[in-house]
Structure 1
Amino acid sequence: MMKVIICEDNSVHRAKLKQLIENTILREKVDLDIALCVGEPEEVIDYTEKNHITGIYFLDVDLKNNINGIRLGERIREMDPLGFIIFTTTHLEMSYLAFKYKVEAMDYVIKEDYDFKQRVESCLLKAYSTYYKGKLKEGYISIKEDTRIINIKLCDILFIETTEIAHRIRVHEENRQFEFYGNLKNVQEKLTSNFYRCHKSYIVNKDKIEEIDKKNNKIIMINGEECYVSFRYMRGLLL
């Protein structure tokens, strides 16, 4: 899931921008999450240093801090070279500084302009589309659900299983699980060769297997989770 980071020192503007982005995410059903919404640039730097992400950053230019938005963008660009940086400002004349510090901003959105809402939405959706258009060619699959589109990074998947609810699929990643409606056959057609149908109810990522317990027909994944392998599919798993 792609992350959105907001840094705006004015609490009213910060809340307005956050609400606007949340509404866009819900309305457009995109797989985005607001990971951080703060007024202090140091918090953004700390988050970006600790999390290896390609993010969408909305940065106020004038942060009433010794680190202004342009400088913050410069730091972000060092840590997240492929990130999308959008400056929100009342000072368009300061935009030249972004070129000076090689920030490579996606856009400059004037807070008081009549089309502020449309410009923010446009930037958000364009960044999302650009990112996943490239990533879908680099080991992602896109799953459509009623209320959202889920973009799944294949190398993060441990295994996929059916649930007790008919036509409901659960995806296990190392640090999260999520569900959607579908069937294993259709999902398997979108997967790469390292995924193996090991059971009528399971598809496993062979690259994420820690151990195969042949006696109990179990597969232990790298995070300790277990799934089952049927006897008829055991041989194919061991090849």
Structure 2
Amino acid sequence: MDIFLIEDNFVQREFIKKMITKITNPYEIAVKIRTFANVDNFLAKINLDELEQSSVFFLDIDLQSSINGIEFAVNIRNKLPDCLIYFVTSNPGKAAEIINRNILASGYLIKDLEHLDELEPQIKQIFEKLLSEKKLDSSYIEIKQSHTINLININDIVIIESLPDQKGYVQLHTKKNNFIFRSTINKLKEKIDAPFIAKDLKSYIINIHHIQTIERKLGIITFDKGIEIYASKRIIDKLIKKLKQEL
């Protein structure tokens, strides 16, 4: 789970990061927290187009940058309709503007500058709710690597393929990451159900939304981020048929 925290106050930023780390550790969920002082700093290092729908944002509303947290949240929501956005503020009255902008906030962290410790129970409540909902949400699948759990949004899956050299293991590609874990294609087919997922393939599960090109004559399918596989004409014809159905 990628978490992005944008807060211009260093003390508050570090405290929130520390609390998120403390609260998520017992869940054994793979969490990566990245912190930024402002939107400009974020955009200098991160391309929104490359982020996944499972991303979680904590945004200070009153950021001292070229745009504030609310304006930036509008941009995020346009790019990542399924991501989670939590606003950090000392002014709950800002909620009306957020609702009017149709940002669909997931929640709020109300901070008291003199009592930062009051943020801890709020963060705990957010992550207890967030993790329980994601585990129950059919748009997410849970995969285990050693003692770590990864929650993957189905929209972010590019392709899952069996590994003939590693019996009982599969490789799952997302736009950003690759995961190799113990499972089978058939077991995963039972967990994944979406109209844009091609499951009637022997050794693959493919998200047709991430297909860039199909070269039937050469038997090559190219996906986002340059992922490429060689496939039989039978597989390619099935994918072409499904793509036409989605049009």
TM over 0.5: yes
Distance 2:3 2:207 in 1: 32
Q: Retained in 2: the 8 A contact 1:158–1:221?
A: no
Q: Retained in 2: the 8 A contact 1:45–1:75?
A: no
The match for 1:177 is 178
- TM-score calculated relative to the size of structure 2: 0.65
5 Å-filtered alignment, 1:69-218, equals: 71-80=68-77, 84-89=84-89, 91=90, 94-100=91-97, 102=99, 106-111=107-112, 112-130=115-133, 136-137=138-139, 140-145=140-145, 146-153=147-154, 156-162=157-163, 164-173=165-174, 176-192=177-193, 194-198=198-202, 202-205=203-206, 207=208, 208=211, 210-212=214-216
1:7 Cα shift? 1.7
The match for 1:9 is 8
Q: Retained in 2: the 8 A contact 1:109–1:120?
A: no
The match for 1:56 is 56
Change over 3 Å in CA distance of 1:212–1:66 after alignment to 2: closer
**Other structure's SS at 1:9 match:** coil
Q: Retained in 1: the 8 A contact 2:30–2:149?
A: yes
- Say whether 1:38 aligns with 2:1: no
Distance 1:62 1:100 in 2: 13
Q: Retained in 2: the 8 A contact 1:48–1:76?
A: no
C-alpha distance after superposition, 1:168-217 (max 9, x if no partner): 2212345542111112331233345722343xxx2253844723568xxx
Distance 1:53 1:131 in 2: 15
Larger Rg: 1
**Other structure's SS at 1:142 match:** strand
C-alpha distance after superposition, 1:101-150 (max 9, x if no partner): 5466512333525442221122234345556755x25xx43334542133
Q: Retained in 2: the 8 A contact 1:6–1:38?
A: yes
Query: Over aligned residues, Cα RMSD in angstroms?
Result: 3.8
1:62 Cα shift? 5.2
Change over 3 Å in CA distance of 1:155–1:122 after alignment to 2: closer
Change over 3 Å in CA distance of 1:101–1:177 after alignment to 2: closer
- Identify unmatched segments of 5+ residues in structure 2: 239-247
C-alpha distance after superposition, 1:24-51 (max 9, x if no partner): 34432335533x4111233346757655
Distance 1:238 1:61 in 2: 49
* Count of equivalent residues: 217
**Other structure's SS at 2:92 match:** helix
Q: Retained in 1: the 8 A contact 2:50–2:176?
A: no
Change over 3 Å in CA distance of 1:206–1:122 after alignment to 2: closer
Distance 1:58 1:50 in 2: 18
1:236 Cα shift? 7.0
Distance 1:61 1:79 in 2: 14
Distance 2:92 2:118 in 1: 18
Distance 2:237 2:156 in 1: 20
**Other structure's SS at 1:148 match:** strand
- Identify unmatched segments of 5+ residues in structure 1: none
Q: Retained in 2: the 8 A contact 1:86–1:109?
A: no
The match for 2:21 is 22
Identity between Structure 1 and Structure 2 (%): 17
- TM-score calculated relative to the size of structure 1: 0.67
